[in-house]
Structure 1
Amino acid sequence: MIKPEEAYKADGVDEDTSYSIFVSYIEIYNNYIYDLLEETQEDAIKPKPPQSKILREDQNHNMYVAGCMEVEVKSAEEAFQVFWKGQKRRKVANTRLNRESSRSHSVLIIKLAQAPLDADGDNILQDKNQVTVSQLCLVDLAGSERTGRTGAEGTRIREAGNINQSLLNLRTCIEILRENQMCGTNKMVPYRDSKVTHLFKNYFDGEGKVRMVVCVNPKADDYEETLLVMRFAEMTQEVEVARPVDRPICGFTPGRRNRNQAFKEELSRKLEERGGPIDRANTMKSMLQQLDSNHMSNENIIHEQNGRLLEKDKIIQNNKAELERLEKKAKTQEHKIDILQKTTKIYEDDKRSAAA
């Protein structure tokens, strides 16, 4: 994969600084941590089982595996040799779906240590405060299993249960991080429920960057599991890990109180640049008051217009009543005129008859 002449190639290297690269390789099997590079005394009669390692927290609140072997490498070729050495010791088993199914989560840790040289450029300055350590962790998570499909029995069922439980806890941690971020809550994230999440709690707390690569099987038989995995991946994209302002370098970090103080100062500075929460609240309050005042004015205008409309409607109703009264009176007068005309005609007819 890498040409020999490129194995030692490095760009932008400070000549006044010494660099060293260390590789370690662990696996988390049944929620226990084992060192894949640890040399054990082989006994053909009574082989000694590997001893599990303990997670510890250093003075800078970084998690690490105590007693884990770190191998210094000088080239990419040496690093691959160390990797394949540990790869051969990983827990794998034959299942119905996979001939070499991973029964554990593996973590390949690559550390880059950087220390300044003295004035002569021959020796490293023995001052740990000037040493910088960067760390890259490559995690291979075992896939979730359904024992009905894999045909797991006995020990394989226990292994599958621990794998599924650790993956479920990882999902729970991410869901709570997402809820705290979106809803403003401060729920405790259960990192300690699983070795995988406990080991990388600092990364989720903002001390590093986290990237996830999701592998799925395009077979139709795996559609339900693929759908669940894709939904989980979609949810993780909504999580934004808050990073401290003075992001410490792995291995040598300032005190937590100093980090919190710097974070508060940076947050206050950004709030001042944006006007601060009080100023924004006052501005919003003024806007709401102005809108409320405009609304009240509009309501008063509408109320006045409604009053005028009611008065005009009352006048119209009175006019209608008066018109009806006049129309009724006119009909009565017309009826009287009609009677008078008929009486006058009869009188004239009687008068002409008497004259004849």
Structure 2
Amino acid sequence: MRSRYSTPELNNRVVASHNMNNASSRSHCIFTMNVEQSSSDDFNNVVISKLQLVDLAGSERVGLTGNTGVAYKESIDINKSLLTLRKVINGLADKKTNQKKAHIPYRESKLTCLLKQSLGGNSYCLMIACLPPSDFYLDENISTLTYATKASYISNTPNRNEDPRMKIIHELRKKINSLEKELKAANDH
């Protein structure tokens, strides 16, 4: 799966076959793009944003995959990180719907540590669930839809990310311009 936007890391992603999936990705993939934006009239006022695209490895019922050895351990590790992600999503959703103070276990997995700002922080978050159109995967599809439904209850409040010093400088410049206009208007009368 090569494209002009692929990176060597994406091209080196391990994929393996098992009883439930001919091309099962054996890891999660996180693509992070940092974007800096400045206006043409004030290059010092920089807004910094981060876009993360995440492709999660699928949850696997180990008994049905037929995996053994290294593939078995990969399945266990994938399921552990997805379980922690589920705990984080449940905790954040419960916190928003019930207004409870819940412990959010971000630090239980590398995946949730990396996604902390996207899931419960200063950002917009959208989850897209991919489902195979087959009755054979009914249990997995129900689980995925439950997961996605719970994620839809998370509501973050994004704020503009500005360097606080630059924000103060920008506000002071606006104040100076305003005072200069007032002074000019007073001198013209």
Q: Deviations over 1:76-114 (max 9, x none)?
A: xxxx53525332111222222323210000011223223
Asked whether 1:199 is paired with 2:122, we answer no
Q: Deviations over 1:54-81 (max 9, x none)?
A: xxxxxxxxxxxxxxxxxxxxxxxxxx53
Q: Deviations over 1:248-282 (max 9, x none)?
A: 32xx4549xxxxxxxxxxxxxxxxxxxxxxxxxxx
Give 1:239's aligned residue: 154
Count the aligned residue pairs.
163
Q: Go from structure 1 to structure 2 and tell me whether the alpha carbon gap of 1:181 and 1:115 turns closer, same or farther (over 3 Å shift).
A: closer
Match of residue 108, structure 1, among 31, 37, 51: 31
Match of residue 167, structure 1, among 59, 70, 82: 82
Q: Go from structure 1 to structure 2 and tell me whether the alpha carbon gap of 1:219 and 1:194 turns closer, same or farther (over 3 Å shift).
A: same
Asked whether 1:157 is paired with 2:72, we answer yes
Q: Go from structure 1 to structure 2 and tell me whether the alpha carbon gap of 1:101 and 1:188 turns closer, same or farther (over 3 Å shift).
A: same
| CA distance in 2 between partners of 1:228 and 1:143 (Å) | 11
Q: TM-score, normalised by structure 2?
A: 0.76
Deviation at 1:117, TM superposition (A): 6.5
Give 2:10's aligned residue: 87
RMSD of Structure 2 on Structure 1 (CA): 2.4
Give 2:171's aligned residue: none
Identity of aligned residues (%): 33
| CA distance in 2 between partners of 1:253 and 1:197 (Å) | 26
- Residues 248, 254 of structure 1: 8 Å contact kept: no
Deviation at 1:181, TM superposition (A): 1.8
Give 2:160's aligned residue: 248
Deviation at 1:185, TM superposition (A): 1.5
Q: Go from structure 1 to structure 2 and tell me whether the alpha carbon gap of 1:161 and 1:186 turns closer, same or farther (over 3 Å shift).
A: same
Q: TM-score, normalised by structure 1?
A: 0.42
Which blocks of at least 5 consecutive residues in structure 2 are unaligned? 166-189
Match of residue 229, structure 1, among 128, 144, 147: 144
Give 1:138's aligned residue: 53
Deviation at 1:195, TM superposition (A): 1.4
Which blocks of at least 5 consecutive residues in structure 1 are unaligned? 1-79, 120-124, 256-356
Runs of 4+ with >3 A deviation: 115-119, 252-255
| CA distance in 2 between partners of 1:150 and 1:220 (Å) | 17
Give 2:93's aligned residue: 178
Structure with greater contact order relative to length (CA < 8 Å, sep ≥ 6): 2
| CA distance in 1 between partners of 2:146 and 2:109 (Å) | 22
What code does the residue aligned with 1:227 have?
I
What code does the residue aligned with 1:139 have?
V
Q: Give the secondary structure class of the aligned counterpart of 2:51.
A: strand
Deviation at 1:115, TM superposition (A): 4.0
Deviation at 1:118, TM superposition (A): 8.6
- Residues 29, 56 of structure 2: 8 Å contact kept: yes
Q: Go from structure 1 to structure 2 and tell me whether the alpha carbon gap of 1:116 and 1:224 turns closer, same or farther (over 3 Å shift).
A: closer
Structure of larger gyration radius: 1
Give 1:46's aligned residue: none
Match of residue 99, structure 1, among 8, 19, 22: 22
